[in-house]
Amino acid sequence: MYNKDNVFAKILRGEIPNKTVYSDDNVLAFYDVAPRARVHVLVIPRGEYTDIFDFTQNAPESLQIAFWAGVRNTVEKLGLRDNFRTVANTGRGAGQSVMHFHVHIMSDERFKEDF
Ligand code: AMP
């Protein structure tokens, strides 16, 4: 069940400030307030979806397509085409703390050496 009081809903309503990286009618991307990588950005859809399961099951196709285009545009804007990770923590068990679907984009020099 989506809770309209979650912090990302407040950001979308303009009630809490954010450092925007990319924005359009369907998507907002902004810097994570507690970065865990050299670059750490969150991408969220402008819609009420709790997690990736809710989003992929219930969001209109047009919004799903627009969301991934927003991820791509954000990555391009950050200049990370060749060095980034996406993470979508899903559920409390996986550490999801904000119940508004979001994808983390993270980039760090050391990623190049991890695998
Ligand atoms: P998750 O743990 O996957 O749900 O990720 C939620 C993320 O939101 C965490 O990395 C937090 O640091 C980040 N976060 C929480 N509040 C804010 C905020 N007001 N602005 C930017 N990022 C936030």
Torsion, Cα of 88, 104, 54, 6 (10° steps): 120
Domains and CATH numbers, the chain: 7-112 (3.30.428.10)
Q: Exactly one of 40, 100, 102, 104 is catalytic; which is it?
A: 102
Strand, coil or helix: what is 2?
Answer: coil
Residue given tokens 């399961």 in the structure block: 53
For residue 109, the model assigns a pLDDT of 79
Determine the atom of ligand 1 nearest the C-alpha atom of 88. Answer: 3
The set of residues, in sequence order, having a beta carbon less than 8 Å from that of 14 and lying 6+ positions away, is none
For the chain, residues with pLDDT lower than 70 are 110-115
The reported pLDDT for the residue numbered 111 is 62
**Which residues lie below 8 Å from residue 66, measured CB to CB, with a gap of 6+?**
24, 25, 26, 27, 45
pLDDT confidence of residue 112? 61
The residue whose CA has the least distance to atom 20 of ligand 1 is: 33
